[in-house]
Amino acid sequence: MRSVIDILDLSVAELDELVACANDIIENPEKYAHKCAGKKLATLFFEPSTRTRLSFEAAMYELGGNVLSMSDAKSSSAAKGESVADTAKTISCYADIIAMRHPKEGAPLVASMNASIPVINAGDGGHNHPTQTLADLLTISREKGRFNNITVGFCGDLKFGRTVHSLISALSRYENVKFVLISPEELKLPSYVKKDIIQKNNLEYVQTTDLEEVMPELDILYMTRVQRERFFNEEDYLRLKDSYILTPEKLETAKKDLCIMHPLPRVNEISVAVDEDPRACYFKQVLNGKYMRMALILKLLEVK
């Protein structure tokens, strides 16, 4: 029985295997339509979500399985004071696999230590979001055909943006990856990610506040939303929320084969005019997320 709490819980070989499986699902969906018949996925979401929860649920339905869904923490026993550990033990009696999102960093890890079924971290506070990274990796693989030899710009809220932390972790295991970290001073990448991931793996990186200056060198531009719900005061959020707004004009100096990504939801950070640009990949990322979650569910349920 295996859980995925951090993207590093999966080896590079396993990531390759998941990408290959997702590509096969895209080509031959009918082959997979009954693979999870009789199995149940429980989605336990203690924080808002559109894509992550619904894509997990769509993934399970497309595998022929069923879903038990808890989308509102206020209507669950957590509101009565139940611990994450007890919730995990309880859900283990009903389902075969859990996808959990929680505002507290480490909550899905605690769930995995108490559940008797696999637990997937669907986002824990400002920490990690490994299945968004799976969506991101399939997108990079399909758009660029490689994970090596790329310059990846991360722009926006690098402090609280859990999708950034997980994607940096994943890419740190490949060759000749360069990170360009673009953020306001207050929203810089946490030092633990910089030290334990980027510097430990001897990867090249630069930090800047200026998106336009670095635009021409990027192969991938990963935009992020300023994470309002993690701020201690609204004033700071209001001051920082529009630090970066990507427009067609700002893309004029970008590479012709730039891949523009965003985990979504977007607020203001990408102008809708950019959606027409063939380099905009963020809605492809959404679809890729469903296929990678299908591949992950199959792997963790050990379905052949």
Concerning whether 293 is annotated as a catalytic residue, the answer is no
CB contact set of 195 (below 8 Å; sequence gap of 6+): none
Residues 142 to 181 in contact with ligand NCD, rule: CB under 6 A? 162-163
Determine the Cα–Cα distance for residues 298 and 160; give it in Å rounded to an integer: 30
Closer by beta carbon to ligand NCD, 134 or else 218: 134
Q: How far apart are CA 51 and CA 6, in angstroms?
A: 19
If one asks whether residue 132 binds ligand NCD (CB under 6 A), the answer comes out as: yes
CB of residue 271 to ligand NCD, shortest distance in Å: 17
For 110-139, b/e burial (b = at least 16 CB within 10 A) is bbbebbebbbbbbbbbbbbbbbbbbbbbbb
Q: In the annotation, is 102 catalytic?
A: no
52 is catalytic: yes
Half-sphere exposure of 292 (CA within 13 A, CB side): 27
SS3 290: helix
Of 82-90, 144-152, 261-269, 272-280, which segment contacts ligand NCD by CB under 6 A? 261-269
Which listed range, 165-173, 183-191, 213-221, 263-271, lies at the site for ligand NCD (CB under 6 A)? 263-271
Q: Residue from 127, 159, 225, 293 that binds ligand NCD (CB under 6 A)?
A: 225
Is the separation of the CB atoms in 139 and 259 below 8 Å?
yes
133 binds ligand NCD (CB under 6 A): no
Beta bridge partners of 101: 45
The DSSP-derived string for 242-257 is TS--B-TTTTTTS-TT
Peptide bond into 265 cis (omega under 30): yes
Catalytic position from the list 35, 102, 127, 129: 129
Q: Binding of ligand NCD at residue 263 (CB under 6 A)?
A: yes
Q: How far is the CB of 224 from ligand NCD (least distance, A)?
A: 6
Active-site residue flag, 142: no
Q: For ligand NCD, give the closer residue by CB, 6 or 114.
A: 6
Stretch binding ligand NCD (CB under 6 A), from 66-74, 186-194, 198-206, 258-266? 258-266
Q: Is 130 in the site for ligand NCD (CB under 6 A)?
A: no
By the rule CB under 6 A, 292 interacts with ligand NCD = no
Active site residue 173: no
Among 40, 51, 230, 250, binds ligand NCD (CB under 6 A): 51
By the rule CB under 6 A, 53 interacts with ligand NCD: no
Distance CA 160, CA 227 (A): 6
∠ Cα 157 161 167 (to 5°): 115
Residue with tokens 């989308």: 71
- Report the catalytic residues: 51-52, 80, 101, 129
Which positions touch ligand NCD (CB under 6 A)? 51-52, 123, 129, 132, 162-163, 225, 263-265
